[in-house]
Structure 1
């Protein structure tokens, strides 16, 4: 893996070079092992939290971890194109627009002991801005090369906080063209429901049950690219003890194995339908 500037990453994408890189400020990673008409993203996978912000933060390391999406990049790491955040959403949230990317409070609790300075905010927002420069360059290249593209926007959620039965998988589709992409959305839901999980865990899948797909990552791509479908795909945190901060590697592995098979097949079907 190389350490590259934003300009160097974009230049490689535009030249359709194969590479694996971390941004020079270590804010995100990107790998392109092959140019294919689909990409995977894990924007909330990151846990890094800038050292200078530690004294100001009221949330503990565990409270931050609890609301992040750990292991989501590991679930899709074998796919050819993967982009993943490394910084915690508590520094800046890649799934919110720039004006709302830096929290003042989070899940009902004030985040900062004192307001962040303009300089502190600017550092975080520059990383947010750079990430989306790369996303734009990537999708632009894929659409130009293939005529269409599909992006699997991977997230996880804390199922124990719900007071009702919730699905293992949730697809948020309220901000994509459901009329045009109805069949691809339903096919993806069906594929997810058939992933085999260990320890007696059911693999149920629903659409717009717990989340509706209102994230900025999905909206940014959808608003800028007419031929790209973003599937906001949430998995319940059945792969960890969300209260004890323990990861279950065998469940992560099973999810990764299932996605390694069904995801490329789904992407191929999407391409065959919408590339013409």
Structure 2
């Protein structure tokens, strides 16, 4: 588990939160329940295998800055959930296979990821994880489809808004909503009720300090591989929504969490569950 997550001891309920670290060898964990709603945190992971660590030119803080720490925490109230534990710098599950290993700076926000060019065997081992993930995802969602017919996947991420430095001006609010909803890969008209009701539920949540700015396809458009894959393989039954939280719930340059905001965001997401279930029924 990421170093900041180990230090976080927050509690959305009366009992202390247990944030036990995952095993170093874990690729991902999945939980299956009786619900048509699935949540994923595929960029939460920070772990890399030894062969990648030896060749990586980035330190842990540099990697963490581009990962999505605490997104696993945000989806814990979903009985169907998948959490990837490997860093996107080992393999980016949300990129097409051909670009899932960052080999050039332009693939990784201008960062020189490698101290030396990784051997093909190292790249192939990472790509095999990408292959296995999508085999697992297809099977997992087919099971949801068999039980419930239609389903929703919330593809949860986070994004930086102070790229110029810790004390630099944040990205303009006009370009950086608190929550960006990405829908470009879906049939938007077909899933209008689901998406619109989900966004309305987020906006109406009584968030500490005031309602959040929730907009669609502003900072991101939902062009990631996971949502594309779901809409390709489940065109009539699967609605995949990319949910990008601006990193106002943490200090993006140090990884320090802001527990009150994280707990509130988790409660907000949990509150959308019954809304999504009802919206799915209305789509039939």
TM-score in terms of structure 1 length: 0.86
More strand by share: 1
* In structure 1, C-alpha distance between the alignment counterparts of 2:89 and 2:184, rounded to whole Å: 25
Helix, strand or coil at the partner of 1:153: strand
- Decide whether aligned partners of structure 1 residues 201 and 87 sit closer, same or farther in structure 2, where only a CA change above 3 A counts: farther
For structure 1, the residue ranges without an aligned partner over 5 or more in a row are: 1-21
Q: Indicate yes or no: 2:78 matched with 1:79.
A: yes
Question: Which residue among 182, 196, 199 is the counterpart of 1:172?
Answer: 182
* In structure 1, C-alpha distance between the alignment counterparts of 2:81 and 2:140, rounded to whole Å: 11
* In structure 2, C-alpha distance between the alignment counterparts of 1:171 and 1:240, rounded to whole Å: 20
For structure 2, the residue ranges without an aligned partner over 5 or more in a row are: 1-21, 164-169
Helix, strand or coil at the partner of 1:251: helix
Aligned to 1:265: 274
Over aligned residue pairs, what C-alpha RMSD do you find? 1.8
Question: Which residue among 203, 210, 219 is the counterpart of 1:210?
Answer: 219
Aligned to 1:195: 205
* In structure 2, C-alpha distance between the alignment counterparts of 1:273 and 1:213, rounded to whole Å: 24
Contact residue 150 and residue 270 of structure 1 kept, 8 A: no
Helix, strand or coil at the partner of 1:88: coil
Contact residue 197 and residue 276 of structure 2 kept, 8 A: no
Aligned to 1:124: 126
Q: Deviations over 1:96-133 (max 9, x none)?
A: 11111000121112211211112111211111111111
Aligned to 1:110: 112
| Number of residue pairs the alignment of both structures matches | 251
Helix, strand or coil at the partner of 1:268: helix
TM-score in terms of structure 2 length: 0.84
